[in-house]
Amino acid sequence: MFTSGSHLKERGHNVYFGGRPNSLFLERCDSMGLPTYAIDVKSDFGPKAILQLAKLFRKLNIDVIVTNLNKDTRLAGIARKFAGKNVLVGRNGLPILKNNLTYRLTYPWLASGIIMPNNLIKQQYLEFGWVPEAMMRVVHNGISADKSIDYNHAETRKAHQIPTEAMVVGIFGRLVPQKQHKQFLDVAKGICEKRNDVRFIIAGDGPLRDEIEAYAESLGIRDKVHMLGFQKEVMAFYTLCDVVIQTSEHEGLPNVVLEAMFAGKPVVSFNVGGTREMITSPDMGIVYDERSIPKMTETVLDLLDDPKRREKIGQAARRQILENFTVERMVNNVEAFFQELLAKNS
C-alpha cells in the first residue's frame, strides 16, 4: 500500500501517510518527501485517537482510508463515522480476520472493502459466510518494470567475501520464525555434502540472527554462509544468485518470489500464500506442496548442475512478472477498486 499510495500521488491524488510517532515507516515517508501524520495509538478503541483521526479526516477531506491491521480498522472505522462520507479499505496482507461473532457484527460495519494479495485469503473469507464477495478485491503486488537488474557482481562478491568462482544460493527476508531460515540451512547442509563450490547468502536482519548463525555453526557450514544483514538495494543480491529459495511458513504474496522472478532467477519454494499465483508452471519455478527438505535439496542441486535449465526458467519467470505483476497494473487495480467503493457510497 505504501507503493500504491506513492504512485497514486504521482497520478495527482492527494495522499497522506499516517503511523506511530517516530516510527521507521514515517521516517521512510519523510525521507521521500511524502506528507505524514503521527497518530499516537494507545488502545483499540481509544477515544483520543478516534477523535484525532476524525478531525484529521475532515480537515484533509479524505475520501478513502486504508488500514493495515485490525486495530487500525477499529479506530479509523469508528472515526470515519464522525467524519462524514468516506470509505475504509482494510489491506489484509495475511488472513487476519477471525470467524467469530465479534468480527461478524463489527467488521462489515467498520470497513467498506478489503484488499488482499492472493486468492487463498479471499476463499477463506468467503467460507466464513459473512464477508460479501463484492467487498473483497484481490490485488497482486507489483514491481517497477524499469527497475535495473544490471549490477557489478565482482564488486558485490568482493565486498562480502564471496569467492569469484562460487555458485550462490540465496534466501531473503527478516530473520524471524515465519521465514524458517533453519530449513534453508538444512538445504544448504545437504548441498554442501555434494558440492564444495556453493555459497549461501542470507539477506535480512532480525531477532534470530545469533540463533541462525549458531545453527549454521552446528551444521558445520558456517564458513559457507554469508550473513548480509539488512540491504537497502536488495536487487543486486537477487541477480547474484543462481537459485533463490523460499522456506516460509506462511506468506501473503511473497515479494521474495516476485523480486527473484523479476531478476530472472529460478525460485524453489514451499507452496505458501500466493506463490502458485506467480509460479503457475514448472517452466517458471519449482513449488512443492510437500515441505520436504530432501526434495528441495535435490531440486536445487539439479538446477546448479544445469545452467541451461536455470536460464530457461529465469527467462520465463521474468516474462511472467513483466506481463502480470507490475506496479502499474497493481496501482490501476487499487485505484479502480477505490473508485467503485466511492461510487457505491455516494
**Which CATH number fits the domain that encloses residue 234?**
3.40.50.2000
Average pLDDT of the segment spanning 297-317 = 98
What residue numbers bound the domain in which 294 lies?
A: 153-324
240 within a domain of the structure (yes/no): yes
Residue 138's pLDDT band, with cuts at 50, 70 and 90, is very high
Q: Verify that 166 and 268 share a domain, yes or no.
A: yes
Residue 346's pLDDT band, with cuts at 50, 70 and 90, is confident
Q: Verify that 196 and 56 share a domain, yes or no.
A: no
Average pLDDT of the segment spanning 213-235 = 96
Residues 94, 334, 245, 234, CA torsion sign:
negative
Q: Verify that 99 and 169 share a domain, yes or no.
A: no
Q: Verify that 56 and 7 share a domain, yes or no.
A: yes
Q: Write out the H or E segment, with its range, that includes residue 106.
A: helix 101-110
Q: Verify that 193 and 244 share a domain, yes or no.
A: yes
Q: Verify that 241 and 225 share a domain, yes or no.
A: yes
Q: Verify that 177 and 271 share a domain, yes or no.
A: yes
252 within a domain of the structure (yes/no): yes
DSSP track, 187-200: HHHHHHTT-SSEEE
Average pLDDT of the segment spanning 57-64 = 95
Q: Domains in the chain: how many in total?
A: 2
For residues 271 and 188, is the Cβ–Cβ distance under 8 A? no
Q: Verify that 167 and 262 share a domain, yes or no.
A: yes
Rounded Cα–Cα distance for residues 266 and 293 (Å): 17
Q: Would you say residue 128 has pLDDT above 90?
A: yes
Residue 85's pLDDT band, with cuts at 50, 70 and 90, is confident
Q: Would you say residue 43 has pLDDT above 80?
A: no
Residue-wise pLDDT for 266-282, tens only, equals 999 999 999 999 999 99
82 within a domain of the structure (yes/no): yes
Reported pTM: 0.90
Q: Verify that 127 and 46 share a domain, yes or no.
A: yes
Residue 170's pLDDT band, with cuts at 50, 70 and 90, is very high
Mean pLDDT computed over every residue of the chain: 95
Name the residue with cell 505483476: 325
Q: Verify that 188 and 230 share a domain, yes or no.
A: yes
For residues 170 and 237, is the Cβ–Cβ distance under 8 A? yes
3-state helix, strand, coil in the chain (%, to 5): 50, 15, 35
Q: Would you say residue 303 has pLDDT above 90?
A: yes
47 within a domain of the structure (yes/no): yes
For residues 140 and 274, is the Cβ–Cβ distance under 8 A? yes
Greatest CA separation for the chain: 65
Q: Would you say residue 39 has pLDDT above 90?
A: no
Q: Would you say residue 137 has pLDDT above 80?
A: yes
